[in-house]
Amino acid sequence: MNALLRRLLLVEWSGILAAIILGSALLAWLSPAFLTEFNIYVMLRSFCVALLIGFAQMVTLAVGQMNISVGALGGLVAVLAGGMMEKMGVPLAVAIPVAIAIGAFCGLLNGILTERTGINGFIITLATASAFTGINLGITQSIPFYDMPPALVAFGSDRFFAFPYLLIAPIIVTILLGIFLSRTIPGRQLLAVGGNPHAAELSGISRGRITVLAHTLSGALAATAAILAVAQLGSAQPTIGSDWLLLSFAAPIIGGAALTGGHVSVLGTTLAVILIALIENGMVLAKVDPYWVQFVLGALILAAVWLNRWRAVTTGTD
């Protein structure tokens, strides 16, 4: 029995899954509103943007980097997309791919600056975050773009019973990202560089190229999250992304990502976002001050880092 428990604890997402099951059971018992169709819809809708935010940070953590500009980049893409659609009359089918391309370009810029200067990505993205925020506020003067296409607003609010249409995009991204990391050569190279950069270079893998790739993917994922946030809100708010940073680290770290790189988990990150959405929803139902969510996320990050460290020591991978 002890050996079985030990093996279960060593599975990186087992604790998260247990917490989700127990937490759901507890909330269902404490609040009759928890299992209502509308409440499940609300939870799933909040999950959509949060998952892509977590993925945007996860891909940079995979190579041992950090992207501090995730939120600022998302905010910039949101207002550029909103401006294109409201002020320039760009069709939705054109504005969305262009906005994602802009996000990828901003990520590419982060990667190139990190690779060419040799400065840690933390510092580079801290600087570009300030630049992206400045451009955002310069374009909008802190005034949102409200006149969004009805199709985009409907996509962000409509649902089939408890299933929000907004959830379609994260499901597709999750599948594609899982295939990319596990089944493609660039995906495996990304993890190889994060796990052992020197060994990867000796194998012929360019650390600089993979670093640029990771940041470019991060930018594209943050941009996709920004588009979903615009659809969710029904407007392109300059404040989109302002509260993304903590969540972007919480989701992959709670999901088992190694801060030193080389190991991330698409499934673990997904479960971590479900857990975070569950905690937020539970606090709303219990009428707890929402600012306590930040405290809980911080505590969960610390617990996850400790657990990952314990797991590494126990398995001899430290």
- The full set of domain ranges for the chain reads 35-308
- pLDDT of the residue at 8: 43
- Structure-block tokens of residue 223: 């941009």
pLDDT for 269 equals 94
Reading the block at residue 68, the tokens are 């501090």
Query: In this structure, are residues 207 and 200 in contact, taking their beta carbons and an 8 Å threshold?
Result: yes
Contact 148, 78 (CB under 8 A): no
Tell whether the torsion through CA atoms of 285, 289, 290 and 296 is positive or negative.
Answer: negative
Question: Are residues 195 and 186 in contact, defined by beta-carbon separation less than 8 angstroms?
Answer: no
3-state DSSP assignment of residue 240: coil
Say how many C-beta atoms besides its own lie within 10 A of residue 92's C-beta.
Answer: 17
pLDDT string in tens for the chain (318-residue length): 455 444 544 456 677 888 899 989 999 998 889 999 999 999 999 999 999 999 999 999 999 999 999 999 999 999 999 999 999 999 999 999 999 999 999 999 999 999 999 888 999 999 999 999 999 999 888 899 999 999 999 999 999 999 999 999 999 999 999 999 999 999 999 999 988 888 888 888 999 999 999 999 999 999 999 999 999 999 999 999 999 998 999 999 988 888 888 889 999 999 999 999 998 898 888 887 777 777 877 887 787 777 766 666 665 555
CA distance linking residue 31 with residue 308, whole number of Å: 33
Give me the CATH code for the 35-308 domain, please.
1.10.3470.10
Per-residue pLDDT, 312? 61
pLDDT for residue 5: 43
- pLDDT (0 to 100) of residue 202: 83
User: Rounded to an integer, what distance in angstroms lies between the CA atom of residue 246 and that of residue 264?
Assistant: 17
Q: Give kind and range of the element (H or E) at residue 160.
A: strand 159-160
- In this prediction the pTM is 0.92
CB atoms within 10 A of CB 138: 9
Backbone φ, ψ for residue 15 (5° rounding)? -65, -40
> In whole angstroms, what separates CA 279 from the centre of its chain?
17
Residue 256: per-residue pLDDT? 86
